[in-house]
Amino acid sequence: MRIAFPRNIALAIALLGVGLALNACAATEAPAIINEEEAAFSAGTAIDPPRTLSDFTLPSTVSPTLSLSDLRGKVVLLYFGYTFCPDICPTTLAELVHVKRMLDADADNAAFVLISVDPDRDTPGVLTRYLAAFDPDFIGMSGDDQTLRAIGSDYGLYYERRADLATSADYLVDHSSATYLIDQEGQLRMVYSYGTPPEVIGADVQDLLR
């Protein structure tokens, strides 16, 4: 037995099919929705009054040891991360590459610093190879626990090595993902959450260099 669909129902089904297909299409092309948290942090948090930061000295990619005070006179963008991190850290560093490009010739007056929270993996040699893929001028420092503990409160830094996860990696590191803007006098001026647009950070650096 064959049931003949009335023509208008068949047509409706046909149109529905097309509609669904187009809808599915639109869904993949819709702009990503920015969640409220990201929106709230997208301009960064001003540290007012600016906070004087403790000096520290660590093994680095530019000299056997480097101190924060050695960078006095430059605007510093500082990030804590680790090279084994496949996602958050390289995303942030790629954004800092955009910031540096925005600065153009002024980039000579800025320093971009990655402090590793994973010194066992991230020797200065590893950091040099890793950072060269982003920008050879980026500076890497191997943070040891003692130093990171001493300066952590200045940055609200949190990090924890996790060897208890179901991964083939020996361990992963949970860590703060903010970027810190330090002025020419070594004072903390801004904190940017992960996902802050490079244009926002670049404009703040340009303001300090003006």
Partner 1 sequence: MMSRFIAVLSVLLSILALGACGVTAEPTSAIMISDPWVRAAVVVDAMPEEPTAMSMSQDGAMADEMDHNNAMGSTSAAYMTLRNTGDADDALIGATTDVAATVELHTVERDGDVMRMRPIKQIDLPSNGSAELKPGDYHIMLIGLKQDLQTGDSVTLTLTFQNAAPMTISAAVHQP
- Binding footprint of partner 1 on the chain (CB under 8 A): 4-7, 9-11, 13-18, 20-22, 24-25, 27-29, 32, 37, 59-64, 83-88, 90-91, 94, 97, 119-121, 123-126, 128-130, 132-133, 142, 156, 158, 162, 165-170, 172, 174-178, 193-195
Reduced 3-state DSSP string for 41-101? HCCCEEEEEEEECCCCEEEECCCCEEEHHHHCCCEEEEEEECCCCCCHHHHHHHHHHHHHH
Least Å distance, CB 20 to partner 1, is: 7
Pick 27 or 105: Cβ nearer partner 1: 27
Residue 191: strand pairing partners: 45, 180
Pick 57 or 63: Cβ nearer partner 1: 63
Residues 128 and 107 sit within 8 Å (Cβ to Cβ) = no
Pick 55 or 120: Cβ nearer partner 1: 120
Pick 72 or 121: Cβ nearer partner 1: 121
Cα→Cα distances 187→16, 71, 74, 89, 155, Å: 61, 11, 11, 24, 12
Least Å distance, CB 208 to partner 1, is: 22
65-93 per-residue burial string, b: 16 or more CB within 10 A, e: under 16: ebebebbeebbbbbbbbbbbbeeebeebb
| Alpha carbon 206 to its chain's center | 19
Least Å distance, CB 125 to partner 1, is: 4
Pick 68 or 172: Cβ nearer partner 1: 172
Nearest to 205 by CA among 48, 39, 49, 77: 77
Least Å distance, CB 184 to partner 1, is: 25
Nearest to 94 by CA among 43, 131, 39: 131
Least Å distance, CB 210 to partner 1, is: 28
H or E segment and range at residue 191: strand 187-192
Pick 65 or 185: Cβ nearer partner 1: 65
- The amino acid occupying position 137 is D
Least Å distance, CB 91 to partner 1, is: 4
